Each structure stands twice: as C-alpha cells, then as structure tokens.
Amino acid sequence: MADKNEILAGLAEIVAEETGLDTAEVELEKSFTDDLDIDSLSMMTIVTLAEEKFEVRIPDEKVKDLTTVGDAVDFIAAAQG
C-alpha cells in the first residue's frame, strides 16, 4: 500500500507519460481539465494506467468525480485501504 506522496509521484509519472507535462506540474490542487488540459480520452488512459500501477479499481461513474489530482490521490489511497 502506497502513501499519498507515493501515489502522487506515481500519478505524476503516468500523467507525464500520457501528456508530456513535467511531473512537477502535477500537484494536488491542480484540476485535470482546467489546469493540466487533460481531455476525456487521455483521462481514461490515465485512469487505466493508475488502476494497473496501484492495483485498484476506479469505476467509470467515479471518474467524473476525480476533478483534481488530489481527488484521484485520495480515491486511490482509500481504495487501497
């Protein structure tokens, strides 16, 4: 089980791979769509990669609730618990 800092770092790597953004830009308070300019197709790829990396399941209906990086980190941390 990863702590929230490890989840953030792992998520930042996934976002960087998918979008070309610098991992330093992926911060807890950043919005996936507004701040990081991630479209729905890229978001689904990020979710799939995060599920594999962190061994969690993120239901499709929950993805829309993950508006910020912090939301995703919190969800993954809770799903691992």
Mean pLDDT (the chain, rounded): 96
Instruction: Please give the positions annotated as active site.
Output: 39
Q: pLDDT of 49-67, one tens digit each?
A: 999 999 999 999 999 999 9
Report yes or no: 50 and 56 within 8 Å, Cβ to Cβ: yes
Residue 69 has what pLDDT?
98
CATH of the domain at 56: 1.10.1200.10
- In the chain, the number of structural domains is 1
Q: In angstroms, rounded to a whole number, what is the distance separating the alpha carbons of residues 41 and 55?
A: 21
CA–CA dist 7, 3 (Å, integer): 6
Place 74 in a pLDDT band, splitting at 50, 70 and 90: very high
What is the domain extent for residue 34? Answer: 4-19+28-80
* Tens digit of each residue's pLDDT (9 = 90 or more) over 33-51: 999 999 999 999 999 999 9
pTM assigned to the model: 0.95
